[in-house]
Amino acid sequence: MGINYAMKIAVPGHVLVRVFENESVILNLNTESYHGLDDVGTRMWTALTSSASIQEAFEALLSEYQVEPAQLRQDLDDFLETLGQRGMVELVAG
């Protein structure tokens, strides 16, 4: 997908997110599809939706988890690609 980390994510109006303790469910009301997130996925979601850019979220997550930068970048790319394909996030200019 080649994600530009200077961009940020936006959550479309037709997407609902519900957090239950450390897990989340993302629901696309248009397609009636949902995506469940475990505690790490929920933290990734929170970082991405509260940061000024994907790069900022990447740096925050890198400081929180003992993970190689290349692995975290791949995990974020996969996460964003999956959610993007399901219409649950959009990339916008930061």
Q: d(Cα 92, Cα 73) in Å, to the nearest integer? A: 18
Query: Does residue 59 sit within a domain?
Result: yes
Q: d(Cα 64, Cα 82) in Å, to the nearest integer? A: 23
The CATH number for 50's domain is 3.90.930.60
Query: Does residue 18 sit within a domain?
Result: yes
Checking if the pLDDT of 1 tops 60, the result is no
Query: Does residue 16 sit within a domain?
Result: yes
* pLDDT tens digit sequence for 5-54: 999 999 999 999 999 888 999 999 999 999 999 999 999 999 999 999 99
**What's the number of domains the chain is made of?**
1
